[in-house]
């Protein structure tokens, strides 16, 4: 009986020692999405500070980032982040990018790809449609706060709606449009935008 009690006490003591030893081992922390960006040679400030969840597949480089809410960060250009951002990480680049847009003038354009020089230099490149826009990489080195705001409703869709409602009147001085919905007249002026050569509507009255 005494022997059984001693063995039980030894077992409990041994279990206590094992639990104490395991609890003293620091847990291996998982890399954050910001750490993963730097591991691929990209600046961590490409994403705002409101990431609430992220998944990354080392096998194919695909990632999914969930933000607390859609928001904006002001770099050289105003950047809009959707709540869900996806893409494929490769060394020095993000391809198949979805969920990030950049504002140029009054239009929003999807950012399809982001690249940096290898070895890293002073520049970063945003692929927007057919245009590869070169920016200073320094502005993306710090993770920034993301601000909420009302997104501008001006877009290609708005322009198309105006043109759809309008009747074209062509003359020798240019292309004018009368918008019957608001009794205003507009003139189309060629403008080189962030993405391509386009026409900008200027209200005359």
Q: What are the tens digits of pLDDT across the range 145-158?
A: 999 875 544 444 44
Token output for 104: 């140029």
Is 128 domain-assigned?
A: yes
Is 126 domain-assigned?
A: yes
Read off the pLDDT of each residue in 158-184 and give the average, rounded to a whole number.
46
Token output for 105: 């003038």
Q: Give the neighbor-by-neighbor strand order of the sheet with 197-203.
A: 166-171, 174-179, 184-192, 197-203
Residue 2: its pLDDT value, please? 57
Residues 84 and 129 occupy one common structural domain? yes
Enumerate residues 6+ apart whose C-beta is below 8 A from 197. Answer: 190, 191
**Pick the residue with more confidence: 130 or 2?**
130
Is 44 domain-assigned?
A: yes
Mean of the per-residue pLDDT values of the chain: 75
Read off the pLDDT of each residue in 125-142 and give the average, rounded to a whole number.
96
Is 135 domain-assigned?
A: yes
Read off the pLDDT of each residue in 132-144 and give the average, rounded to a whole number.
97
Residues 128 and 166 occupy one common structural domain? no
Residues 74 and 40 occupy one common structural domain? yes
Q: Examine the fold and report which residue of 114, 140, 166 is the final residue of a domain before the chain moves on.
A: 140
Q: Are 98 and 85 in contact (CB under 8 A)?
A: yes
Residues 39 and 103 occupy one common structural domain? yes
Residues 187 and 126 occupy one common structural domain? no
Residues 73 and 166 occupy one common structural domain? no
Residue 155: its pLDDT value, please? 47
For residue 105, is it left (φ>0), alpha (ψ between -120 and 50) or beta? Answer: left
Is 190 domain-assigned?
A: yes
Residues 136 and 160 occupy one common structural domain? no
- Count of domains forming the chain: 2
Is 114 domain-assigned?
A: yes
Quote the CA–CA distance of 49 and 65 in Å, as a whole number: 12
Tens digit of each residue's pLDDT (9 = 90 or more) over 42-67 = 999 999 999 999 999 999 999 999 99
Query: How many other C-beta atoms can be found within 10 angstroms of the C-beta atom of residue 30?
Result: 9
Q: How far apart are the first and last CA of the chain?
A: 104
Residues 132 and 160 occupy one common structural domain? no
Domain residues for 70?
Answer: 33-140
Is 102 domain-assigned?
A: yes
Residues 131 and 199 occupy one common structural domain? no
Residue 150: its pLDDT value, please? 52
Is 148 domain-assigned?
A: no
Residues 125 and 176 occupy one common structural domain? no
């Amino acid at each position: 009986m005494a022997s059984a009690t001693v063995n039980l006490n030894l077992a409990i003591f041994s279990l206590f020692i094992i639990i104490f030893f395991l609890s003293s081992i620091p847990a291996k922390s998982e890399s954050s999405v910001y750490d993963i960006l730097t591991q691929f040679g990209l600046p961590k400030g490409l994403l705002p500070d409101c990431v609430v969840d992220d998944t990354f597949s080392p096998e194919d480089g695909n990632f999914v980032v969930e933000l607390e809410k859609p928001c904006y960060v002001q770099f050289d250009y105003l950047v809009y982040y959707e709540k869900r951002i996806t893409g494929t990480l490769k060394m020095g680049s993000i391809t198949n990018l979805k969920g990030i847009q950049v504002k140029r003038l009054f239009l929003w354009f999807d950012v399809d790809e982001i690249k940096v020089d290898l070895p890293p230099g002073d520049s970063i490149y945003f692929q927007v449609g057919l245009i590869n826009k070169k920016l200073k990489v320094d502005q993306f080195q710090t993770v920034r706060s993301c601000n909420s705001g009302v997104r501008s409703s001006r877009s290609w869709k708005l322009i198309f709606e105006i043109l759809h409602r309008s009747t074209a009147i062509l003359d020798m001085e240019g292309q004018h449009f009368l918008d019957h919905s608001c009794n205003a007249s507009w003139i189309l002026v060629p403008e080189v935008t962030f993405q391509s050569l386009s026409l900008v509507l200027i209200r005359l009255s």
